[in-house]
Amino acid sequence: MRFMLIKPPHHEGADSFIARATAANSDRSMLVLPKVFYRSTISRVPNKGPSPAGAVKNRGLRPAQSIFLGFLLVICAGTGFLMLPEATADGVSAGFLTALFTATSAVCVTGLIVEDTPVYWSGFGQAVILVLIQLGGLGVMTFASVIGLAVLRKFSLRRKLVAAAESKSAGLEDMRSVVTGIVKISLSIEAVLALILTLRFWLTYEETFGDALWLGVFHSVSAFNNAGFALFSDSMMRFVSDPIVCLPMAAAIILGGLGFPVIVQLRKHIRTPRLWSMHTRLVLVGTALLLFLGTALVTALEWSNPRTLGPLSWPDKVLAAFFQSVQTRTAGFNSVDIGEMEATTWLGMDLLMFIGGGPAGTAGGIKITTIGVLLFIIIAELRGEAAVNVFGKRLSRAVHRQAITVVMLAMALIAGCTGTLMVISGLPLDAVLFETFSAFATVGLSTGITAELPAAGQIILVLLMFIGRIGPITFASVLALRERRLHYELPKERPIIG
């Protein structure tokens, strides 16, 4: 990969400058802009001639800050709408904390609730939740980019940078097609699932066509975006033995959890695996492995549990175990009673929720690629290899630090919040730990204690859901006052490890 740092003339706009710099790349690979270039381009390439004052004024927010504020503003707006009397079934305004918790859970596509969704919220309130799920699942800044594209018919440099940061794109060559592709893929998958569910609810469960359509649309959006909100008080428990409901929903959840970069690459090269990137290989292998392990775990530990899988036939037990394994990929629906599971099953599901799904999708957790990178680092260290090789490619050393940082920040956050929740609620460790993992990984599975937590405990879960959705590194970078770039290196010294 080569970069050409070209000083743009004053008359040249940011978009044309990006195109020229990209064309100068001899290998035609994705253009990646360092932060120094991002800052200089934003602040030194005015649209209408040189102007020092205008240059300072146009520096604006960094992409991480834009994403942070975008999610925050949507949560605030959602909270306001849910506090309207029209949003509740009884016409009495919801309390601030109830509205805030629900809006955060929807925007962060978690699914944890403090009030029964089909009973407490009116049709208007449920529609607000649906819109928040769609906005949060695809990304607030992605939607803003689509709106800007529709209105202005072009992307500014700043919008390209923000959209690339939110979609985890490696560069800026064609952010217009990336963003529009994300929306088209999402709506297509949701439409197919909505059709299947609508027909099933209408023809088999004797719902009116209008009700069946609303149930189908709501659950399709909730499933693909890995939100876990349901319009049935028992979530999906009434469909535990229905493969026509469970399997299409599981498929949509898995697709959403793969991440948009993987889906796009599979569309282009589904029959040529040799062209798949390291990222795609990591996500696909990790997803298959975790789905199998999760299914085996739930099946083995809950097979004879009379309160979960025990009363079911063996095909229904396997279906329920698989469906529940899929939910730990951060979806949050449940076809069996989570609160009645064995404590050992909770612990296994904690680990699966912590890992989560693929990056740049609708799933949460620390992501499959992060845990995959750490696994390959350990293997390389045990073998005494100088470099970390993954699927025939050498891993960048910068990725080592990033993966370790994500895991350590996440573990520290979960440990601190778990201890705090235990102190203020007096609830046992296993239930609190499950709820904490579920909130941070934006899963939405619950042992049933969320509504019982005091106000301070629910606020902690709100913060966990928010940080888990935008990512611990993004959140930490937002809090940083400025970037620190050292122009020297200190002498090396090695402590004793282990």
Portion of the chain with pLDDT greater than 90, in percent: 59
**Cα–Cα dist 276/48, whole Å:** 43
Give residue 207's pLDDT: 94
Counting residues of the chain whose pLDDT is more than 70, the rounded percentage is 77
pLDDT value at position 226? Answer: 92
In this prediction, residue 192 carries a pLDDT of: 97
Q: Is the pLDDT of residue 6 over 90?
A: no
Report residue 210 as tokens: 């209008």
* CA dihedral over 365, 370, 376, 381, signed as positive or negative: negative
The average pLDDT across 466-473 equals 82
Q: Is the pLDDT of residue 498 over 60?
A: yes
Give me 106's structure tokens. Answer: 């929807």
Distance, CA of 310 to chain centre: 33
**Residue 484: its pLDDT value, please?**
65
* Domain positions in the chain: 1-60, 66-140+176-479
pLDDT of the residue at 7:
46
Better-predicted residue by pLDDT, 263 or 54: 263
**Quick check: 101 and 35 in contact, CB under 8 A?**
no
In this prediction, residue 371 carries a pLDDT of 95
Instruction: Please choose, from the candidates 45, 37, 38, 35, the residue with its C-alpha nearest in 3D space to the C-alpha of residue 12.
Output: 45
- Which secondary structure element, helix H or strand E, spans residue 91, and what is its range? none
- From CA 181, how far away is CA 360, in angstroms rounded? 13
- Round the average pLDDT of the chain to a whole number and report it: 83
Q: For 246-261, what is each residue's pLDDT tens digit?
A: 999 999 999 999 988 8
Per-residue confidence (pLDDT) for residue 482, from 0 to 100:
54
- Nearest Cα residue to 226 out of 198, 254, 247, 248: 254
Cα–Cα distance measured from residue 354 to residue 333, given in angstroms and rounded to the nearest whole number: 17
Residues in the chain: 498
Contact 326, 258 (CB under 8 A): no
Question: What's the rounded mean pLDDT across residues 323-327?
Answer: 96
Query: What are the tokens at 454?
Result: 């005091």
CB atoms within 10 A of CB 241: 15
Average pLDDT over residues 423-451: 95
| pLDDT tens, residue by residue, 327-355 | 998 889 999 999 999 999 999 999 999 99
The three-state secondary structure class of 490 is: coil
Burial grade of 229 (CB within 10 A; 0-12, 13-18, 19 or more): buried
Higher pLDDT, residue 173 or 294? 294
How far apart are the C-alpha atoms of 135 and 126, rounded to whole Å? 14
469: exposed, middle or buried (Cβ count in 10 Å: 0-12, 13-18, 19+): buried
Partners of residue 390 on adjacent β-strands: 393
Task: Give CA–CA dist 129/218, Å, rounded.
Answer: 9
Side-chain half-sphere CA neighbours of 418 within 13 A: 19
95 DSSP β-pair partners:
none
d(CA 370, CA 404): 8
Residue 229 has pLDDT above 90, yes or no: yes
Which neighbouring-strand residues pair with 88? 121
Amino acid 237: pLDDT: 96
How far, in Å, CA of 18 to CA of 413, rounded? 39
In which region does residue 155 sit, left (phi positive, over 0), alpha (psi from -120 to 50) or beta (all else)? beta
Report the alpha-carbon distance of residue 18 to residue 33 in Å, rounded. Answer: 10
| E-strand stretches of 281-328 | none
pLDDT in tens, 114-146: 999 999 999 999 999 999 999 988 875 565 445
Beta bridge partners of residue 389, listed in sequence order: 394
Cβ(313)–Cβ(431) under 8 Å?
no
